[in-house]
Structure 1
Amino acid sequence: MSLYLDHLNTLQRQAEAALERAGFDALLIASGIEKFAFLDDRPYLFQPNPHFKHWLPLTSHPNSWIAVRPGKKPRVVYFQPDDYWHVPPSAPSGEWVDAVELVVIREPEDAAQALADLVTPRTAIVGEADAALPGLTPNNPEPLLNLLHWARGVKTPYELAQMRAAQRRAVPAHRAAHQAFLAGGSEAAIHRAYLVASGHTDRDLPYTNIIGLNEHAAVLHYQYQDERPPAESRSFLIDAGAQVNGYASDITRTWSAPGHDEFAALIAAMEVEQLGLVDEVREGVDYRDIHLSAHRRTARLLRNAGIVKMSEEAMVEEGVTKPFFPHGIGHLLGLQVHDVGGFMASETGGVATKPAGHRYLRLTRPLQAGMVVTIEPGLYFIPMLLRELRASKNAGHVDWATVDRLSRYGGIRIEDDVACRAGGEAPENLTRDAFAATGD
Structure 2
Amino acid sequence: MRAPRGSGRPMPDGAAALGQLRQNGRPLPGAHPMHASLASLYGEHLDTLQERTRVALERGGFDHLVVPSGEIHYQVFDDRDYPYAVNPQFKAWLPLTRNPGSWLIATPGAKPRLLYLQPHDYWHVVPEAPAGFWVDHFEIEVIRTPEEAQQFLPRDPGRCAILGEPRSRLGPYVPNNPQLVVDYLDYHRATKTRYEIGMMREATRNGVRAHAAAERAFRAGASEFEIHLAYCQAAGQDANDLPYNNIVALNGHGAVLHYTERDRTPPERSLSFLIDAGAGHAGYACDITRTYASDTGSEFQGLVDAVDAAEQRLCGKVRAGTDYREIHLAAHLEMATILRDAGILDMAPESALETGVSAKFFPHGIGHYIGLQVHDVGGFLASDQGGTIDKPDGHPYLRLTRTLEPGAVVTIEPGIYFADLLMAELRASEHAGAVDWGKVDAFRPYGGIRIEDDVLCTVDEPANLTREGFTELG
Residue aligning to 1:280: 317
2:472 to 426, 437, 440: 437
Q: Deviations over 1:318-365 (max 9, x none)?
A: 111010000000000000000111011111111100000000000000
Query: Do structure 1's residue 75 and structure 2's residue 139 form an aligned pair?
Result: no
Residue aligning to 2:331: 294
Residue aligning to 2:247: 210
Residue aligning to 2:187: 150
SS in structure 2 of the partner of residue 299 of structure 1: helix
Residue aligning to 1:370: 407
Could you tell me how far apart the structure 2 residues matched to 1:13 and 1:180 are? Answer: 47
1:86 to 124, 135, 151: 124
8 Å Cα contact 1:239/1:250 also seen in 2: yes
Amino acid at match of 1:4: Y
Amino acid at match of 2:166: A
Residue aligning to 2:4: none
Query: Do structure 1's residue 43 and structure 2's residue 43 form an aligned pair?
Result: no
Give 1:135 shift: 2.0
Q: Which runs of 4+ in 1 moved over 4 A?
A: none
Give 1:260 shift: 5.5
Residue aligning to 2:451: 414
SS in structure 1 of the partner of residue 302 of structure 2: helix
Q: Deviations over 1:382-422 (max 9, x none)?
A: 00000010011110110000000011100000000000001
8 Å Cα contact 2:65/2:105 also seen in 1: yes
Residue aligning to 2:21: none
SS in structure 1 of the partner of residue 184 of structure 2: helix
8 Å Cα contact 2:157/2:172 also seen in 1: no
How many pairs does the alignment contain?
436
8 Å Cα contact 1:240/1:251 also seen in 2: yes
Give 1:116 shift: 4.3
Residue aligning to 1:132: 169
- The runs of 5 or more residues in structure 2 that have no matched partner are 1-38
Residue aligning to 2:59: 21
Amino acid at match of 2:468: D
Could you tell me how far apart the structure 2 residues matched to 1:212 and 1:309 are? Answer: 29
Residue aligning to 1:110: 148
Residue aligning to 1:316: 353
8 Å Cα contact 1:303/1:310 also seen in 2: yes
Alignment RMSD, CA only? Answer: 0.9
Amino acid at match of 2:52: Q
Amino acid at match of 2:466: T
1:250-289 equivalences under 5 Å are 250-258=287-295, 261-289=298-326
Could you tell me how far apart the structure 2 residues matched to 1:312 and 1:145 are? Answer: 40
Cα pair distance change 1:259/1:16, threshold 3 Å: closer
1:358 to 382, 386, 395: 395
Give 1:14 shift: 1.0
Residue aligning to 1:223: 260
1:327-366 equivalences under 5 Å are 327-366=364-403
Higher RCO structure (Cα 8 Å, ≥6 apart): 2
8 Å Cα contact 2:204/2:469 also seen in 1: yes
Amino acid at match of 2:467: R
Query: Do structure 1's residue 404 and structure 2's residue 465 form an aligned pair?
Result: no
8 Å Cα contact 1:116/1:135 also seen in 2: no
Residue aligning to 1:170: 207
Query: Do structure 1's residue 54 and structure 2's residue 92 form an aligned pair?
Result: yes
Cα pair distance change 1:210/1:385, threshold 3 Å: same
Could you tell me how far apart the structure 2 residues matched to 1:329 and 1:318 are? Answer: 18
Determine what percentage of the aligned residue pairs are the same residue.
Answer: 54
TM-score by length of 1: 0.98
- The runs of 5 or more residues in structure 1 that have no matched partner are none
Give 1:121 shift: 2.2
Could you tell me how far apart the structure 2 residues matched to 1:318 and 1:170 are? Answer: 37
Residue aligning to 1:99: 137
Amino acid at match of 2:472: A
TM-score by length of 2: 0.91
Could you tell me how far apart the structure 2 residues matched to 1:319 and 1:300 are? Answer: 14
Cα pair distance change 1:120/1:183, threshold 3 Å: closer
Amino acid at match of 2:129: A
8 Å Cα contact 1:112/1:135 also seen in 2: no
SS in structure 2 of the partner of residue 115 of structure 1: coil
Give 1:41 shift: 1.3
Could you tell me how far apart the structure 2 residues matched to 1:316 and 1:101 are? Answer: 55
Could you tell me how far apart the structure 2 residues matched to 1:434 and 1:34 are? Answer: 34
